Amino acid sequence: MKPRGRHPEKSLTAVQVRSLSRPGRYADGNGLYLVVEPSGAKRWVLRTIVRGKRRDMGLGGLSLVTLAEAREKALTYRKLAREGGDPLAERRKAQTVLPTFAEAAERVHAEHQASWKNGKHAQQWINTIQQYALPVIGQRRVDQIDTPDVLKVLSPIWLTKPETARRVRQRIGTVLDWAKAAGFRAGDNPVVGVAKGLPKQGDRDDHHAALPYAQVPEFVSRLRASDSSELVRLAFEFLILTACRTSEVLGARWEEVDLAERVWVVPTERMKTGRQHRVPLSERAVEILMRAKETGGGSDYLFPGRGGTKPLSNMVFLMALRRMQLDITAHGFRSSFRDWAAEQTSFPREVCEMALAHVIENRVEAAYRRGDLFEKRRDLMEQWSEFARANSDIKTGSAL
């Protein structure tokens, strides 16, 4: 018969714990026991109920864990068990060797690489992590990384290399999200609030050095007369006239184009927004494509690279600009177009934004805006084309 009355609580004293020598199990209360082995060794054991089953778990030897520490551990594990948790599983997790940020980044890269269709993107992803993040936080455990650590990575490049900085921030966030999902860290992702500690970069496209729109016609004339290859010149002018992104233009295939209807449909998987984008083609844009088809050697791509099996490199526009000794970017022509549309035309804002394939941020407006204003955009792009070639001495239908 078990003795009736209250269960013992804190029955042992520090003096007793040190002096007990007879082998056996001595109760301190609330499931905590001091076990004295025949050899004289002493260790702590907690007996508790985990999800309906009685479990014994060791808390460490007396030489390492004092009575007070054993009671503290026992209380923590009992609370966890009462809340439906598993103290043994939690302890195993705590004893797991957590990966460093460098190790986690390598695992994320390896796991995602198969899903990335663009091999260059996959390589750039890990390259930016290795160049900017690893020297600062590479050897820190993923559970130890906090907002100040991310800030230390981004601060040196936030204003000097804003686009790179944003990509590094996003990629650090991806690694830490993976670490949380894998059970290696808890709490919010420190990347979320890091921008509050960084200086304002300005509008999203400010970092793309743009040519003032009034200089675009002169640029087009210079481009046509430049020493870049004909396909590069054609592709660059096509990019300007369509106000599309570099990747969208260089990855374009003939199966996406209907010359008769003068429309180019960029599929969902190649759009930054993840939405299909119909691009109305101006007369000049159609001329460019007809010439590109003549010189493309039967490639599937509008603007193929050497051999025809791959598109032109995404560096061709940058190299063309360097040869022209211009400190601007190809992407900046989207800003040139947007400024021109706002200051030189009366087209509504939503027409101009849709021409750039921007997502409507207002949810109510987006819900009611079912169409893509295609015909209005066709008029807009025709006017842009006429403006862009205004100063050119090369007329429609002449040799390119």
pLDDT tens-place string over residues 294-312: 998 889 999 999 888 899 9
| 158 confidence band (pLDDT: 50, 70, 90) | confident
CA atoms of 89 and 122, how far apart (whole Å): 36
Residue with tokens 């870049």: 228
Which DSSP category does 131 fall into? I
Residue 194: its pLDDT value, please?
A: 80
Angle at the Cα of 306 from the Cα atoms of 300 and 311, rounded to 5 degrees? 45
**3-state SS class at 188:** coil
Compute the mean pLDDT over every residue in the chain, rounded to the nearest whole number: 84
- The edge-to-edge listing of strands for the beta sheet with 32-36 is 24-29, 32-36, 42-50, 53-61
CATH number for the region 101-197 comes to 1.10.150.130
Q: Show the tokens assigned to 219.
A: 């640029």
Higher-pLDDT residue of 316 and 202 is 316
Q: Show the tokens assigned to 95.
A: 């004893």
Quote the strand ranges of the chain, DSSP E. 24-29, 32-36, 42-50, 53-61, 257-258, 263-266, 277-280
Closest CA to 185 of 148, 129, 140, 152: 140
| 49 confidence band (pLDDT: 50, 70, 90) | confident
Say yes or no: do domains 14-95 and 213-388 share a fold. no
Residue 275: its pLDDT value, please?
A: 85
Domain parsing of the chain, residue ranges: 14-95, 101-197, 213-388
% of the chain at pLDDT higher than 90 = 41
Weakest mean pLDDT among 269-273, 300-304, 320-324: 269-273
Residue 92: its pLDDT value, please?
A: 67
Please state whether the predicted TM-score (pTM) of the whole model is above 0.85. Answer: no
Tell me the one-letter amino acid at 395.
Answer: K
CA atoms of 238 and 306, how far apart (whole Å): 19
* Per-residue model confidence as pLDDT tens digits over 110-149: 888 777 666 677 888 899 999 999 999 999 999 899 999 9
Q: Please state the φ and ψ torsions of residue 50, each to the nearest 5 degrees.
A: -115, 110
Helix (H) or strand (E) holding 168: helix 162-181
User: CATH number for the 14-95 domain, one of 1.10.443.10, 1.20.210.10, 3.30.160.390, 3.40.190.80?
Assistant: 3.30.160.390
Closest CA to 216 of 198, 243, 247: 243
CATH class of 213-388: mainly alpha
CB 25 within 8 A of CB 45: yes
Residue with tokens 């026992």: 74
| DSSP sequence for 325-346 | T----STHHHHHHHHHHHHH--
Closest CA to 130 of 99, 101, 87: 101
